[in-house]
Structure 1
Amino acid sequence: MIPLKSKFKTSVNIKLDLGSYWIQDRYIPTPTHIESLTGILEGFLDYDKKSHILVGSYGSGKSMIGALISNIVSKNVGVTDINKLIAKFDKVNTEESAVIELLQKIQNHNKTFIPVVINGKQGRFREAVISSIHKSLKQFNLNFTLPSTVDEIKSKIITWREQFNETYKKFQILLEEKKWDLNVFLSDIEEYDIAAIDWFKEMYPSLTAGAEFTLSYNIDLNEHLSYILKELDGRGYGLFLVYDEFGRFLQSVDKYETVEAMQDIQDIAELADHHKSNNFNVLLITHRNLKQYFLSYGEELQNEFQRIQGRFRIYHTHSDPATFIRLSCQVTENYREFWNKDYYFESEIIKYDLFPELNGREKKSIIVENSFPLHPVTMFALPRLANAVAQNERTLFTFLESNEVGGLKRYFEVERTWYYPHNLFDYFEPAFQEFMTDSLIGRSYYKYLRVQKKVGNSPTANFETQLLKLITLWDISNLGNNQKLTKEFMAFALNWDVLKVNKITSLLESKKLIRYSLFNNNWEIFEGSSIDVSKKIEEIKNEGIDKKQKLTLLSNVLDNRYEYPKRYNDEKNMIRFATIYPVYASDLTLEFSTNSPNVDKSSDMNIFYVIPDKEIEDTKNLILELTKKDQTTLFVLPYQELLNIDDNLSKLVSIEKLLEDKYFLNEDLIVEEELLKIKENTLFTIKETLELITHFKKSYWFHNGKDLKIKSKISLSENLSNIMWDIFGKTPKINNESFNRRNISKQQLKAAKEVVDAIIGIKSNVNELKGPSKLIYASIVKNNKINEANETEEISELRLNLMNQLKLGQGDFTTLLAVFKDKPFGIREPNIPVLLTSVLKQEWKNLMFYHKDGSYINDMDGDILFDRMLDKPENYSFSYQSLNDKYKEVIKDIDECFELYIDESDASFHSSVRTNRILSKWFRSLPKITQKTNKLSKKALLFKQLIKKGEFEPDVALDSLYELDIDKNSIKLIKNESENYYDNHKGLIETTIFNLTGVNSFDELLDSIQKKTEFEKVDNKLNNLILKSNSENWVDILSFELVGVKREEWSDATDEVFFKTINSLIKIDSSTDLKDQYYEVKIENEIMAIPKVDLSSKGKLIYSNMKTDLELMGRKLPNEEIIAVVFRVLVDLYKENR
């Protein structure tokens, strides 16, 4: 047996080691303890929170901190020992000054804090807390159980009375024997009468089959603790509750007790932080983040615990590698008696720098000379592995003396040689098994188990397993960030030569058990499929891959798709950008254009990464010519060929095709993951190859016929800024980055439309703008001082260019847009309508817009400008014309004659448009019969035609009005004629009917019809309608009933049909003998005319059914009454339908 150093202690048990001198004597200050020590001590001094949670892996010193603070605050540490402890901190570094100051102050604290230590699972939380407090108080000869005892006695009596009647009766008998009334007894109990309480405890077993009286802890925890804290405060004491292994309690708590436990945890946190005595401090110690203990619970409980956790101050501690290294060298001193010192690893220690926390002298004296039997890589990995696992009591220190599989003690007794890092796997494997498969550690471990089964029983199986263990440990501990698993390093870690490493890695690769990740520059466990994926990829490649597919895929995998002219963007307060496209050199010709469908038209510039698949010099000369044609284009050409780039692109396309092949993926469950891993490496290789371009290493950057010699991202940005200033130097500055872009939100679009409407003068004016619309107006119009004396130079030049287009008289709307979009302005599209209307505000009334078919856009507003004209500018045109003086007189006459129809909002329109809008409003106010008729005077008809024409060609219509040469009186006559037509038409109908019937008024007409026979009244529709009318509505009734259209909506054709119908009805009325066509039925003084009609088949059926029903009625009614019923029905139907 090999003894360990006597002063070494593998673990601390706060409950058992409380008060031990060696706690503060052997405590070694470490950086990871500073925060927790500071925070907890501050709580005792009332500086901060008094409720704390300490999280850390086993062996990281959590319990040591709890024991150390317990000893200090309970005054178990003398002044001398405190000063020694302070001296230890003072030697470390200046960061511990806060702890030193707190330790000095804590010596003079006026309270002694009684440590209450709970360890692991001890039943219900409140039971564990209360019972532990009372046990600790008893050690200080303090007893505050009376309130709890009184509450318990009262609870027992109530339970007996309500649930155990026989027991309650026996209790009452015992009270009577003691001459006690129940109320008096309860009163004595509540006054803490010791005699009454002791009597109850003595007689309790006689009522409960011998059970002793104990507290059930179903009490108010908050109230009980408050009582104890108040009593302790009066005696100069406080409580320090330390719950070690609190995670064990959380793991084992019953789901039905969870709510109670959570409430109790919250209560003690609040009590510690808010009790007026300030003498209660709480420390919960666990080895995992608390959230992990509740992953199996519902989301609601998880959120509730997260809220409770927020009431605690939380600290994290972890194993300190430097401390472990120093301790382990001391502890393993006796092992080195068996070391022949033939292997020092000195060169490797220098090469790999695994111990940055040690200086050069320490690395030699501790690692090189005194690490045996712990291999340096083991020393490096062990603290980090312990921190990562943090799952059980397999810690740094238990490892040093463990006799379990993988433990140092047992290993050395058998092997008597170096302890290599892969052996750690055996020691920590039970800890790995505790992790669920959905955790990072669990996934790594179970991946190892799957591949280890595939190693087989070959002669090299043991070596293969060792390497798999090493890779798994590296993954679990996340050590790849510190040291990559290169072949040279693995040879050092396993004490193999590189040839052996090459052999074993090749074997494992061939079995698809490991792979080298180019992206991570590290070896990793990899479980491959049973399919020969590489062969499948080659088959697809051999079928041929289209260039377009390769370029599309390459575009998608580029880390940067865009580059920005930062200085230009900052100065112009906007975002211009250049889009990057890969292109094959063989696709470049002198006809190459950036207007191809594959090029994004929204980008300000284009950068083409040229993949050289032909002679570099030829490509270079071609590109120099191309760049002279387009200033917005850069071509990037590497100095040399991009090695295997085309082959790797073909491979990548093949992988993507396989990933989309569902049938192929279903052949093996693992094949998709294997494809993704191959894709990852392929992508890395492609990106690495492209670094000649993307990292500005060895490439030409051609623009405008010369090489810009760009060597960095900053240089590229600066060159892009210079180019943008050359092209778009006159872009107006718009201080609204969220709006000054190609695509805006719906809210911004709505606001921009409101701005345009306000500028034009529709609905509102610019002073009424609010919110987003006000901001847009201010950032575009106000900031550029548009239409002000000190207007910006950019806006003035923009106006000049626009006026040059307008002075041509007419053109396509696209030509106006081109002024805004092209050099030197390059204005973003959403800004154009606002700038168009504001810059041309003074000329707006002279500007008219037309549809593609030539029709005028009458109601121009923000909606039309944004939603239609910007979207399809090729469908619109414009004309620009100022008003000729010759039209002023006719416009003035129309204004005076149609004054009621003038709208102030029309003032912003061209004079011809405004005039037509006035006339159109008047015209639309007329009845439709007036609008449609041609039965007006020649001038009135021509006037009406010009109004209609003006809706599409207002300028032509105004000119035609002028050519009519009509004065104000003529216009008034036309207006009166049109407005009176409807009433005159009614009079015409009346006169026509009166003349045809030989009467002079409606009353005479009605009288003449009433004198006609019943046959004539019923048969003639005209007579029938007149009888239903009166002198006010008879014309309207006739108009509608005879032609089916209201008179105000008649056309001339309807008018003609009406008069023909009237003539026909009057002639029939005077010439037809109706007696043979009707049955005459006399009723007193009235006569009913019943038409003689042959019954249809349906009529015959109704007649048959009615006759049958009447015959059946004859059984219950006399025939006379049945006939009377039929007669009554006949009369009613006749009158209703007359």
Structure 2
Amino acid sequence: MQRYRSSIHMQFDFPDPHLLERYVLTPSHCKVLNGILEGVSEKGDKHSHLLIGPYGTGKSLISTILCQLLSRKFSEEWSKRLLEQAEMIDTQLASLLRHVNDGQITYIPVLVNGKTGSLSKIIIEAVYRALHQAGIHILTPNEASAILSTVERWKQSYPEAYSAFLQFLEERLIGEKEWSKRIRECNEKFMEEFIAFYPSVTAGTEWTYVHDTYFIEDLESLTKELKAKQLGLFIVYDEFGRFLQTFENLDSTKNMQDLQSLAEFADRMDNMQLLLISHKHIRQYASDDQESIRLEFEKIEGRFRHYTLENDAGTYLQLAQEAMRDINEDSMEHNSELITVDSLRRFSLFNEFTSYQLEQGILTSLYPVHPVTLMLLPQLSNIFGQNERTLFSFLSDHERDSLREHIQQQRTGYYYADRLFRFFQLEAAEIKEQSALELYHYVVPYVDSQRPLQHRIVELLTMWSETRMTQKQPVTIPFLAFALGVEDKEAEAELEYLANAKIVRYNSVRGQWELFNGSSIDVEDLISKKSASTSLKLREIMEIMDSHLPVTFILPYEYNDKMDMLRYADIRFADVSEMMDSNDKDWPGDDRIWFIVYENLDQYDDPSAVMQQLNKPYLAVFPTFSTEKVLPYVLKYKITEQLLHDSALLALDTRLKSELNLIREETSLKIRAFVDRYFEFTKHEWYSGTQRVQIKTSSDLEKLISIRLLDKYPYSPVIRNEAFNRNRISAIQRRALIDVIDRLIHQPLEPSLGITGYGPNYLIFATALKNNDYLIDENGNIHCNESFEAIRQDLIRQLNSKPIGQLLELIEIMQNAPYGVRSSVIPLLFVALLRDLWDQLLFYSHDMMVTHLNGASILEMIELADSFEYRYYNWSVDEKSQLIEACRKLKFPVEACSSFLQASEFLLQWLRNLPKFTQVTQQLSKEALWVRDRIRSTEVDPYSHMKQLVADVDLLVAAKEEMELFMIRNEYELEKRILTLTEQPSFDSFFEVVSRSREEAIGKNSKLMTVSNADHLTGGVIDRVAEHLVGVVRADWSDSTEELFLNQIKYEWELLMSDKEVAVSINQTLDVNQPLSKKSQTLYANVKNMLKYAGRDVSKQELKQLLAKLLHEL
């Protein structure tokens, strides 16, 4: 026997005369009938309808009823019964039914069931098929009529083709008359065979037919002819969602255009109705499609009137009462005792029903179905069945474990919920991962087969969890006994047995029993043994309690709304000594609520005395209880955490981790219950500083924190920019902040700092600076509001009182009370409020000055403020005058005279642009050397050394001139020394000697002989000779290089002029390819190594001379 009643297939079930038996008209069906019959009766202008609903809600059934109603297929008896039901539920529907019965137009049902492809082709073929079945012969331009026309044309004009066609039919053992009938019925098999045959008689030409060229035009002509015969079309497209799901990109637009045209055409025709049946709205089928397609779907959907069929509780009960009326009447005669309303009211199953509805609608009318069964049945149907269809199967069919089988087996007694497990055959149902059914299959082998109640309990727990009914009604012992029709003690005893076997467990977190696949390890015994050797420190206890706080901070809404920023007070467990030793600078929040902890009540001290001794404005809560009662749970929690991190233990049983997690969760519940006692505000003593305060609600606590924060941060600047005024900001805000700081440094006088547009950078400038009246005038003076000015004055006082200090000291001024500036705002205010003193501030890290400050480097510097040092130099009027005078005499540009820092950078740049020789030589006056050293030192400490430099402007100017002329003077001195060394009166005579030596002794190896004759004819003789001899341009020399050059000149000149020089001339040709004997090879290697290693410090020129002498002597 079939498990569930089969669904309605409109094309097959439409002629079934028994389909309408036992039909129950429901409110949701009334809405559908009302809407469609309004269009039929000409009271409504909508003839295009969309019926939506999940499986099993009766969409196809109500559509079939409409088809029979509009085609006048109803028997008079059934029509009368439908009218009677309508009069009881909806009088308007009853009026419409009478009007339809008296109407003149009879509708021909055109049924389509889930077909896909071209919409126009599907509709035209369906219309043609419906007309043929109704015996109405009106030619329609479809493919079937085109095939028949083709065959008729062959018969009249092409006898050879017709003869081939008759042979084609003979091979298939079918006559022409029967074949034509099948074609008119649009039989796809016969049509496809003809299309395959067609090319054999047309010289290979394929069959072509345009299905949708005149789609709407043909329908219009057809409906006009039908209207003349008082007929109409009722097109019903069942499973329309299947058609939408098979759209292809190329066809979707065309099909949607056809659907829109069809809907518009139906609305303007008096004798045509269109009904589409789907599981969801048209637009939902395009959710993953292109945007254009989705918009097109939404537009099309607007052409239809929508109806939704849903399974509401009232309809469900009404259908159940009707379906089991005969069973109920028979069972009530043999019923011994019904469940009372009071016993049902103990559980949250039917809270929406009144007592009368419970008694009459459920307990009486639906007996012997148990109320829990009735609650569970639709939920299981949604998952494992087919909604209302399953309901009728259960109530009406004689299937195994159905209601009727129950009546046959036992005349009295309730049908309890656990039997639904077998009715739905959940033992063989598809198992989803981590589902209750999966857990059932794990534990059911361990259930005692000799105790049937255990099986019933496990089956009910499985179904209750699988349907998520635990959210509506937890599975307690009283509920379990009620659902299974047993005593509480009996259910409790079986649960205890199952719990010992680790098949079920009581979840104290949710307060219910549930299936449980426990491990093979006795976890409780393991925890008990570890408890004996595990200790707990007070700080550990408080940390575990901290992790169980229901809220870890309190938001002061009044303060935050007033200041338009986010501050909060964090909550922390501590003992009295820890609170006394704490520093509010280390708190993560802006304020703190101390939850005082006592290990035992002997530690309890008078809270007033404690706060007097502390003498700090802390907010503390003093309870009247200790942690003694919660300590076992805290210890168990700690041990459970340790076990969860023991990989070797967890490897023993894969189920152990899950079991430990459950134990930890239950232990956390106990700890959390203890922690929650601190939030019973009126039961504790609250102190704000030395003053006791009354806190009754969380709202009182929020208001108190708002007052405390207003007292703590009275001068906190108002910055109405939530995205920026916080400790952590996004990357976009950070880039915007860097841009604003860069503009503050480089163009502070520009209107709006030169920011254009209204991006994040402008929003930071406007909310943080402009709205606080921040302005730098033409003289560099800063103007701002009261809160900014207070911060600024504190920063200046710190700089004046401590010119050198840690950067963190300046940051903490803004960060701490009474300002409490957020971390992201501090870099901006730091630069903005000290912008007029910016050139007098230097920053150092490990004694290295930070140069070229910009927005990014300032952010990094402030984030690592404890690693940086600031140095502030108070610039006097005399120092300013001295600098201006020095810059005037040095002819520096105006921007270099604005500060010592700018002047030092300009001087450093000037010095670095001088030749390297000038920068390193000691051949300067003592004064020039002192000035050069001071200029270099300004890179580390510009203010101190610039003060020394500008104190004697004339000395600075003279030294600068001396260094700029050094290369000219050095060239002149080198000329003199060379001529002295060579004893020549001039360079002309020097080059004459060199030239003469080159002609006389070709064997001489002095480098002077390779100096070009033209070198002395142009300027820069010294530079060219120097580079030729030492290979380094004079501008890159040092004093040592100069000494080397002079020594080389001396040596080369002596080599050139030496009378002992031997001119070696070898006229014979040497054969370098002459093979060497072993002895010669050894001699060669020894000489080579000796020259290579022993002559490492000898110049190449001397080595060459040595070899020449050896060659000459040999």
TM bin (shorter chain): 0.7 to 0.9
Of 557, 562, 565, which residue of structure 2 is paired with 1:566? 557
Residue aligning to 1:716: 701
1011-1020 or 1051-1060, larger mean C-alpha shift: 1011-1020
Change (3 A) 1:24 1:368: closer
Q: Quote the offset at 1:526 in angstroms.
A: 1.6
Opposite residue 768 of structure 1, the aligned amino acid is: G
Of 1069, 1075, 1084, which residue of structure 1 is paired with 2:1056? 1069
Q: Does 1:180 align with 2:144?
A: no
Q: Which ranges in structure 1 are unaligned for 5 or more consecutive residues?
A: 1-8, 92-96, 158-170, 186-195, 1084-1093, 1105-1133
Q: Does 1:683 align with 2:673?
A: no
Q: Does 1:834 align with 2:834?
A: no
Residue aligning to 2:202: none
Whether contact under 8 Å (2:580, 2:614) holds in the other structure is: no
Q: Quote the offset at 1:1029 in angstroms.
A: 5.6
Change (3 A) 1:636 1:680: same
Please state whether the residue corresponding to 1:579 is helix, strand or coil. strand
Q: Does 1:654 align with 2:642?
A: no
Q: Quote the offset at 1:801 in angstroms.
A: 2.1
Q: How do residues 102-501 of structure 1 correspond to structure 2 at under 5 angstroms?
A: 114-118=108-112, 132-140=126-134, 141=136, 143=138, 146-149=141-144, 179-180=157-158, 204-206=168-170, 210=174, 212=179, 214=183, 216=188, 226=216, 229-235=219-225, 241-242=235-236, 244=238, 270-275=257-262, 277-278=265-266, 317-330=309-322, 331=325, 332-391=327-386, 395-430=390-425, 433-438=428-433, 443-458=435-450, 460=451, 462-501=452-491
Opposite residue 311 of structure 2, the aligned amino acid is: S
Opposite residue 1056 of structure 1, the aligned amino acid is: E
Whether contact under 8 Å (1:851, 1:876) holds in the other structure is: yes
Opposite residue 602 of structure 1, the aligned amino acid is: P
Change (3 A) 1:102 1:225: farther
Q: 1:283 and 1:891 mapped to 2: Cα distance?
A: 94
Residue aligning to 1:161: none
Of 713, 730, 734, which residue of structure 1 is paired with 2:719? 734
Whether contact under 8 Å (1:897, 1:971) holds in the other structure is: no
Q: Does 1:674 align with 2:652?
A: no
Residue aligning to 2:200: none
Q: 1:306 and 1:428 mapped to 2: Cα distance?
A: 42
TM-score, normalization by structure 2: 0.79
Change (3 A) 1:1061 1:668: same
Q: Quote the offset at 1:528 in angstroms.
A: 1.4
Whether contact under 8 Å (2:549, 2:675) holds in the other structure is: no
Q: 2:901 and 2:456 mapped to 1: Cα distance?
A: 91
Change (3 A) 1:863 1:292: closer
Residue aligning to 1:593: 582
Whether contact under 8 Å (2:52, 2:280) holds in the other structure is: no
Q: Quote the offset at 1:136 in angstroms.
A: 2.3
Q: 2:1013 and 2:44 mapped to 1: Cα distance?
A: 105
Q: Quote the offset at 1:796 in angstroms.
A: 2.3
Of 604, 617, 627, which residue of structure 2 is paired with 1:618? 604
Whether contact under 8 Å (1:627, 1:705) holds in the other structure is: no
Please state whether the residue corresponding to 1:914 is helix, strand or coil. helix
Please state whether the residue corresponding to 1:352 is helix, strand or coil. coil
Please state whether the residue corresponding to 2:642 is helix, strand or coil. helix
Q: 2:642 and 2:291 mapped to 1: Cα distance?
A: 43
Change (3 A) 1:383 1:200: farther
CA RMSD of aligned residues (A): 5.0
Change (3 A) 1:32 1:682: farther
Change (3 A) 1:72 1:858: same
Of 740, 763, 767, which residue of structure 1 is paired with 2:753? 767
Whether contact under 8 Å (1:728, 1:824) holds in the other structure is: yes
Q: 1:457 and 1:800 mapped to 2: Cα distance?
A: 86
Q: 2:656 and 2:533 mapped to 1: Cα distance?
A: 21
Tell me the alpha carbon deviations over residues 567-606 of structure 1, each in whole angstroms, 9 at most, x when there is no partner. Answer: 21121111112223334x4x745753247xxx96432123
Whether contact under 8 Å (1:272, 1:281) holds in the other structure is: no
Tell me the alpha carbon deviations over residues 507-554 of structure 1, each in whole angstroms, 9 at most, x when there is no partner. Answer: 111111112223333222221122222223333333315445555454
Please state whether the residue corresponding to 1:807 is helix, strand or coil. helix
Q: Quote the offset at 1:618 in angstroms.
A: 1.0
Q: Which ranges in structure 2 are unaligned for 5 or more consecutive residues?
A: 193-208, 777-781, 1070-1076, 1089-1107, 1109-1114
TM-score, normalization by structure 1: 0.78
Residue aligning to 2:63: 66
Opposite residue 404 of structure 2, the aligned amino acid is: K
75-84 or 724-733, larger mean C-alpha shift: 75-84
Q: Quote the offset at 1:300 in angstroms.
A: 9.5
Opposite residue 54 of structure 1, the aligned amino acid is: I
Whether contact under 8 Å (2:28, 2:310) holds in the other structure is: no
Q: How do residues 482-881 of structure 1 correspond to structure 2 at under 5 angstroms?
A: 482-547=472-537, 551-583=542-574, 585=575, 588=577, 591-594=580-583, 601-615=587-601, 618=604, 621=607, 624-625=610-611, 628-631=614-617, 633-641=618-626, 644-694=629-679, 696=681, 698-761=683-746, 765=750, 766-770=752-756, 771-787=759-775, 791-808=784-801, 810-812=803-805, 813-845=807-839, 847-851=840-844, 856-881=849-874
Change (3 A) 1:783 1:47: farther
Q: 1:999 and 1:24 mapped to 2: Cα distance?
A: 140
Q: 1:367 and 1:568 mapped to 2: Cα distance?
A: 56
Tell me the alpha carbon deviations over residues 599-652 of structure 1, each in whole angstroms, 9 at most, x when there is no partner. Answer: 964321233444432217715638943894443x43344433457432222222
Opposite residue 64 of structure 2, the aligned amino acid is: A
Q: 1:1005 and 1:696 mapped to 2: Cα distance?
A: 107
Tell me the alpha carbon deviations over residues 969-1025 of structure 1, each in whole angstroms, 9 at most, x when there is no partner. Answer: x65443332222223323433443344345566665444323224756762234335
Q: Quote the offset at 1:890 in angstroms.
A: 3.1
Whether contact under 8 Å (1:339, 1:372) holds in the other structure is: no
Tell me the alpha carbon deviations over residues 1007-1058 of structure 1, each in whole angstroms, 9 at most, x when there is no partner. Answer: 4323224756762234335569674565445444544543222222332332
Whether contact under 8 Å (1:919, 1:947) holds in the other structure is: yes
Q: 1:272 and 1:636 mapped to 2: Cα distance?
A: 71
Q: Does 1:935 align with 2:932?
A: no
Whether contact under 8 Å (2:633, 2:667) holds in the other structure is: yes
Change (3 A) 1:842 1:181: farther
Change (3 A) 1:50 1:494: same
Residue aligning to 1:989: 974
Q: 1:102 and 1:1028 mapped to 2: Cα distance?
A: 124
Whether contact under 8 Å (2:650, 2:657) holds in the other structure is: yes
Whether contact under 8 Å (1:51, 1:269) holds in the other structure is: no
Q: 1:1055 and 1:940 mapped to 2: Cα distance?
A: 20
Whether contact under 8 Å (1:49, 1:312) holds in the other structure is: no
Q: Quote the offset at 1:39 in angstroms.
A: 11
Whether contact under 8 Å (1:33, 1:317) holds in the other structure is: no
Change (3 A) 1:898 1:764: farther
Q: Does 1:56 align with 2:34?
A: no
Whether contact under 8 Å (1:627, 1:635) holds in the other structure is: no
